[in-house]
Amino acid sequence: MSNIVVIAEARGGALKRPSLEAVTAALGLAKQTGGKVIAVLCGSGLDAACAELGKSGANQIVAIDGASFANYSGDAWAKAIADQCKAHAATAVLMAHTAMGKDLLPRVSAQLDGSVLTDTVELAFAGGAFTAKKPVFAGKATMTAKATKLPFCATLRPNNFAPATGGSGAEVQKVAAPGGDLLAVVKEIIAAAGGKTPLQEAKVVVAGGRGLKEAQHFKLIEDLAAAFGPGVAAVGASRAVVDAGWRPHGEQVGQTGKVVSPPLYFAIGISGAIQHLAGMRTARTIVAINKDADAPIFKVADFGIVGDAFEVVPALTKAIQALVAGK
C-alpha cells in the first residue's frame, strides 16, 4: 500500500483553496497505488480548517495544533510534518505551489531524504513509479520526470486540479505541536492589505500592460476584475508596468513575477513578450485585447480582439456586469 500525504495550508484559520486541489491530485494517485490519502495541517486554532478538509475525501486528517505553531516556522513545521509522513509510511507528499509550499516542501523532502519536483501540472503512478509533468523553458515545453527515490515530493501549480469535494467527514487526529530549539522564529508578520483575491488562486486574472499608457488607466482593469463579483478575479500586470511603478510587484505576471493558471486570463494592452508568456500561457482560456494586430500575444490567445482597450474594456465590463447580475 502506498499512502499519499497532502500538506494542507491554512491562513487565519481558513483552509486555502489550493490545498483542496492537492487533495484531488492525491486521490487520483491513491486510486492508482491502492493507498490512502492523509492530509496534514499545521497551525493554531485549526478546527474550522479541519472540518472543511474533512469533507474533501481524504481518508484521515492530522492536525498539528499548538500556540507555538501559530506563525509559520520552516524548520519546525518540516520536522513535525516529516514525522507524520514517516508514521504513515508515505511514498508521496504533495503540497500546493504557493509561497509556503515552495519553502516548506523541499524542507520536508530533505528531512525524508526523498526526491522533489516543483510547479507540477500532472501526476501519475505507473509501472511502480511516480511521474510528474511540469512546464520548462519559459513554458514552451513540458517535461516529464520520473521519481527514482521515495518518498516522491511535489508542489502543484494552483488551478490545475479541481478542488476536492464530496467527502463524508474524515477522522481528525490532533497532535500537539512539538517544542525544541528552532533555527528561526517568526517575531512579526506584516500582512498585505486584505480583501483581495490572491493572484495565483483567482479563477479570473485581468492583466494590463503598457498599452494602458498611464497608471491611472489601470482603473479599467480593476473595474473589469470587479465585474466578476467578489472573490473571483484578481488584477495582474506586465513587468514593464511594475518597473514603471504603476503597480506593485505582487501583481506581476511572468518569468520574474508570478506564474498563474486561471480558467480565464485577460491580457489587455500587453504585447506578449516571452517573459510574460512564461507566467500565463498555461491558462485554460486566454483573451487578448490589443490594437496591434501583429502583437505576439495573439499567437497564444484563444480569443483576440484587435481594438482600442479604452473602448473595448468598458463595453466588456458592462456586458459581464449584466451577465453576473442576471444569475
pLDDT 10s digits, 127-137? 889 999 998 88
How far apart are alpha carbons 53 and 37 in whole angstroms?
12
Task: Flag the least confident range among 26-30, 179-183, 288-292, 310-314.
Answer: 179-183
What is the Cα–Cα distance from 182 to 27, expressed in whole angstroms?
34
Rounded-to-integer distance, Cα 220 and Cα 218, Å: 5
Residue 11, Cβ neighbours under 10 Å: how many?
A: 14
Q: What angle do CA 287, 291, 297 make, to 5 degrees?
A: 45
Q: How confident is the model at residue 327 (pLDDT cuts 50, 70, 90)?
A: low
Angle at 257 between CA 252 and CA 258, to 5 degrees: 90
Residue 199 has pLDDT above 80, yes or no: yes
Contacts of 96 (CB under 8 A, 6+ apart): 9, 16, 18, 19, 21, 22, 155, 156, 158
Q: Calculate the alpha carbon distances from 306 to 143, 169, 269 in Å.
A: 34, 50, 10
Q: What is the DSSP letter of 198?
A: P
138: pLDDT strictly greater than 80: no
Starting at the edge strand that comes first in sequence, how are the strands of the sheet with 264-268 ordered? 233-237, 204-208, 264-268, 285-290, 303-306
**Distance between CA 120 and CA 160 in Å, rounded?**
9
118 — phi, psi (to 5°)? Answer: -110, 160
Report whether 49 contacts 23 (CB < 8 A).
no
**Contact between 271 and 209 (Cβ < 8 Å):** yes
The CA distance from 282 to 223, in Å, is: 24
**The pLDDT of residue 181 is above 70:** no
Q: At what angle do helices 74-87 and 99-112 cross, to 10 degrees?
A: 50
CATH ID of 199-325, from 2.60.40.10, 1.10.357.10, 3.40.50.1220, 3.40.50.20: 3.40.50.1220
Cα–Cα nearest to 94, from 52, 151, 146: 151
So what's the architecture of 3-176 in CATH? 3-Layer(aba) Sandwich (3.40)
The domain ranges of the chain are 3-176, 199-325
What is the full DSSP assignment across 165-195? ------EEEEEEPP-S--S-------PPPSS
User: pLDDT by residue (tens digit) across 207-247?
Assistant: 999 999 999 999 999 999 999 999 899 999 999 999 999 99
Phi, psi of 20 (to 5 degrees): -70, -30
Predicted TM-score (pTM) of the model is: 0.84
The answer to whether the beta carbons of residues 69 and 177 sit under 8 Å apart is yes
Mean of pLDDT over the chain: 92
What own/partner pairs with CB < 8 Å and gap ≥ 24 does 291-299 have?
291/211, 295/270, 295/271, 296/271, 296/272, 297/267, 297/270, 297/271, 297/272, 298/272, 299/272
Looking at residue 195, its pLDDT comes to: 64
Cell of 200: 495565483
Task: Say if 3-176 and 199-325 have the same CATH topology.
Answer: yes
Whether 169 and 54 have beta carbons less than 8 Å apart is answered as yes
